[in-house]
Amino acid sequence: MKSLLHYSTVPLLLVVLLSCHRSPGESKQKLWQEFSGEKTLAHVQRLVDFGPRPPGSEAIEKSRAYIDNQLRLCGWNVERQSFTETTPRGAVTFVNLIARFAAEPHSTPKFLLCSHYDTKFFENIRFVGANDGGSSTALLLEFARILAPHPALAARVELVFFDGEEAYEKFSANDGLYGSRYFAKHLEADSAARQFRGALLFDMVGDRSLNVTLPLDSPSQMAHDLFAAAEALKLREYFSYYDGAITDDHTPLNAIGIPALDVIDFDYAWWHTADDTIDKLSAASLQVVGSVAARYLVEFALK
C-alpha cells in the first residue's frame, strides 16, 4: 500500500465542467497528459450524491441520465441495451450503456473500455460505492472527454457501462455479472466479438492508498504492456499482481475470445461496507490509473 503525496483531493463539487475541444498543438500521442484526476473525482461526487444505485432503483436511473448527458456533451452517441433477468430477488431489468463516437458513425470500434455503474444491494447498510462502481464509471467519463478532441482515435474505442455487476447472493453462472454476460452473449451471437482486439475493465481505481492488483490469470501480453506504460510514466510502483483470479466483468469477455484486463485495486479495506465513501478516494490515484491507461491505449492497444 502506497501513499500519494503530490496531489490534493478536489473539493466536493456540485457541478462538473467539461471541455471537449482540442487546444492548439495537442496530439493523441500525449493523450495521457490530458487526463484529469480532479475532473474524474468530481464525477464520482455526482454519482455518490445519487445515493445507493442498485439495479432497478430510482438512483441508478438518475445515474444513467447523468452518464448519458455527460457522454453526449462530448459528442458520443449512447445506446441503452435493456434486458430483464431472473435474480435471487426476482425479475430485474438491467440497462447497459454503450457509447460510440458520433463524429465517425461509419467506423468500427476496435477496443473496449468498460466499467460497472451499479452498486451492490444491501438491506441493512447505506452503500454508495464511491470506489466500487463510482471511481471506474467516472474514469470512463473522463476518457470520453479526452478522446473527443481526437475523432480518429475516439472512433476506434467503445465505452461500455455495465449494469448488474454485483451478485445478489453469490457469484455464479446465474448471479452477478448480469450486464457483462448479456453484452458478451450478444456480441458472440452476432459474430461481433472478433472486431475487438481487447478490452480494459476498470473497477475500484480510486483508493487513496493505490495498489492496482491485476488478476494472476490476466492476458500476459496485455499485462506486460500495461506495466510498460506505467514504467514509461514512472508509475510502475502502483501496479502489481493479485495472488489469484478475480471474478469481474472481464470474465465474460475473455470467455468469448476478447482479451480483457481487469484493472482493479482489490486491496481495499472498505470493499462492500458503508464506509466506501468519497473521502477514501483521491484525485491522485485516479490520475495515476487514467494516465497509465491512456498511455497504454495510444502506445499499445491501438497501435
- pLDDT(45) > 80: yes
Average pLDDT of 117-136? 98
Whole-angstrom distance, CA of residue 26 vs CA of residue 33 = 10
Q: Residue 24 burial by CB count (10 A; 0-12/13-18/19+): exposed, middle or buried?
A: exposed
The answer to whether position 6 is within a domain reads: no
Name the band, by pLDDT with cuts 50, 70 and 90, for residue 26.
Answer: very low
Number of domains in the chain: 1
**Burial (CB count <10 Å: 0-12, 13-18, 19+), residue 69:** exposed
Question: Residue 159 domain-assigned?
Answer: yes
Shortest CA distance to 202 belongs to which of 151, 299, 146, 135? 135
The mean per-residue pLDDT over the stretch 174-191 comes to 96
The reply to whether 13 falls in a domain is no
Residue 242 lies in a domain: yes
Residue 94 belongs to some domain of the structure: yes
Q: Is residue 1 part of a domain?
A: no
Mean pLDDT over 142-156 rounds to 97
CATH of the domain at 71: 3.40.630.10
DSSP string, 226-280: HHHHHHHTT-GGGEEE-SS---STHHHHHHTT--EEEEE----TTTTSTT--GGG
The average confidence (pLDDT) of the chain is: 92
Whether residue 12 lies inside any domain: the answer is no
Return the amino acid letter for 116: H
Comparing 106 with 136, the larger pLDDT belongs to 136
Residue 18: what pLDDT? 47
pLDDT, mean of residues 143-162: 97
Cα distance between residue 184 and residue 264, in whole Å: 20
- Parent domain of 151: 31-301
User: At 73, is the pLDDT very low, low, confident or very high (cuts 50, 70, 90)?
Assistant: very high
Predicted confidence band of residue 107 (pLDDT cuts 50, 70, 90): confident
Element (H, E) at 98: strand 90-101
Mean pLDDT of the 49-74 span: 98
Share of the chain above pLDDT 70, in %: 91
Q: Show Cβ contacts of residue 239 under 8 Å, excluding neighbours closer than 6 positions.
A: 212, 214, 226, 227, 230, 292
23 in a domain, yes or no? no
pLDDT tens, 262-272? Answer: 999 999 999 99
